[in-house]
Each structure stands twice: as C-alpha cells, then as structure tokens.
Amino acid sequence: MKVREAVLGDAEEISGFLQELAALGKRSLPSDAAYVGSHYIAHADNIRCSVVEDVDGALLGLQILKRASEGNAYGVTPGWGIIGTHVRPNAGRRGVGRALFAATLEAAQRARLVKIDATIGASNPEGLGYYEAIGFRTYKTSENSVSKCLELTA
Ligand SMILES: CC(C)(COP(=O)(O)OP(=O)(O)OC[C@H]1O[C@@H](n2cnc3c(N)ncnc32)[C@H](O)[C@@H]1OP(=O)(O)O)[C@@H](O)C(=O)NCCC(=O)NCCS
C-alpha cells in the first residue's frame, strides 16, 4: 500500500467508504463528496490530508491533520493539532491506520506541533484502541466522547 497526499479528485471515492462507515453506524457526520472536499481535503486549517491506496489504486483510508484555530468547533486549544481517521470497512486491521499515521506524524513534526488531539466516541472501541496503539493518551472525557492527546517531542 502507498500513502500519498489527498487531492480533490479523491473526494467521490472517499465519500463512498465514508457512506459505508455511516451505514455501519460508525460515522454520524456528513459523507458526501462536497463535505469531503471542503472539510477534509481542502480545509483552510489543514496541515496534511493523506490517503492510502492499494496496488490497484483503490483508496483504503483517509487521515486529516489540522491546526486548531481560535474558536474551533471541537473546543481544542488553538495551536494544537486535530486528527481524524477513516478506514474503509473491508480494509480494517491491516495496517492502513498505522501507515497513515507515519505520514501524519512526519507532517506534524515539520509543522512544529506540540500536541495533537484525537476525540473519539466513548463507545468506539476500535477508534479508542487505534489511537492508544499509536501513542495517544486520554486527557479529557465527556458523557459521549474521549479526548486523547499525543505530545510530540522536538
Ligand atoms: C479506528 C481505525 C482508524 C483503525 O484503522 P486500522 O487501519 O484498522 O488500524 P491498523 O490496522 O493500523 O491498527 C493499528 C492498531 O490499532 C488498534 N486497533 C485497530 N483496530 C482495532 C479494533 N477493532 N479493536 C481494538 N484495537 C484496534 C490495534 O492496536 C492495532 O494494532 P494491531 O493490529 O497490531 O493489534 C478504523 O477502524 C476506522 O476507520 N474505524 C471507523 C472510524 C473511526 O472510528 N475513526 C477513529 C475515531 S474518530
């Protein structure tokens, strides 16, 4: 599998697997291609938006790293990173998430981020397990969500 930067031409295909995640109850945000383009691939706060493709060029996953702006919708401290990850359901547990994070981590270090926030649904064991596995630790919880943080060293 290969990790590369996402381009707007990927929006339709990404939207397809986000809709699959939504149908499985693993996603509640919009999944249409316009949303993928504006909120993920080409968002003004983006530091890096990566996709993984398989040998045939099919997209298996997406990871977005943004810089938290003043008054961001997630309540994350301005200047921190905010990460989101979405892997095609039939490509789970094959290392797609780990491959994405290798590229994201490099971008975070280049951008001199100090902390990255990952906010996950409290009843999402795969999301919680994934972020824990790549080094994130819980720093905040609410009734419905768990926020984990990765501290970056210089
Ligand atoms: C969470 C998610 C991104 C993980 O992606 P992935 O490609 O399956 O992850 P990887 O195969 O790279 O796994 C890395 C590690 O994460 C953990 N992990 C992954 N899936 C897991 C699961 N279902 N249960 C528990 N831990 C899990 C494991 O420690 C795993 O390492 P291992 O396989 O060596 O034990 C993916 O399942 C997904 O997109 N889920 C739906 C959307 C979502 O929940 N996003 C994240 C929260 S917003």
The 10s digit of each residue's pLDDT in 84-141 is: 999 999 999 999 999 999 999 999 999 999 999 999 999 999 999 999 999 999 999 9
pLDDT tens profile 40-89: 999 999 999 999 999 999 999 999 999 999 999 889 999 999 999 999 99
pLDDT at 153 over 90: no
Residue positions counted in the chain: 154
pLDDT score recorded for residue 79: 96
Q: How far apart are CA 28 and CA 123, in angstroms?
A: 13
The C-alpha torsion from 37 through 42 and 44 to 48, rounded to 10°, is 120
Residue nearest to atom 47 of ligand 1 (CA): 127
Instruction: Please name the residues in contact with 48: beta carbons below 8 A apart, sequence gap of 6 or more.
Output: 5, 63, 64, 65, 103, 104, 107, 108
| pLDDT reported for residue 154 | 67
Q: How many angstroms is it from 130 CA to the middle of ligand 1? A: 4
Q: Is the CB of 32 under 6 A from ligand 1?
A: no
Q: What is the fold, at CATH topology level, of the domain defined by 2-151?
A: Aminopeptidase (3.40.630)
**Residue ranges per structural domain of the chain:** 2-151
Percent of the chain with pLDDT over 70: 99
- The whole-chain average pLDDT of the chain stands at 96
C-alpha–C-alpha distance, residues 135 and 130, integer Å: 9
pLDDT reading at 149 higher than 70: yes
pLDDT digits (tens, 9 = 90+) for 10-49: 999 999 999 999 999 999 999 999 999 999 999 999 999 9
Contact 86 CB / ligand 1 (< 6 Å)? yes
Ligand 1 probe mutation, 29, 104, 130, 136, most atoms within 8 A of CB: 130
Euclidean distance between CA atoms 4 and 11, whole angstroms: 14
Give the distance from CA 150 to its chain's centroid. 14
Residue 59's alpha-carbon distances to 99, 100, 146, 148, 150, in angstroms, are: 13, 12, 28, 27, 26
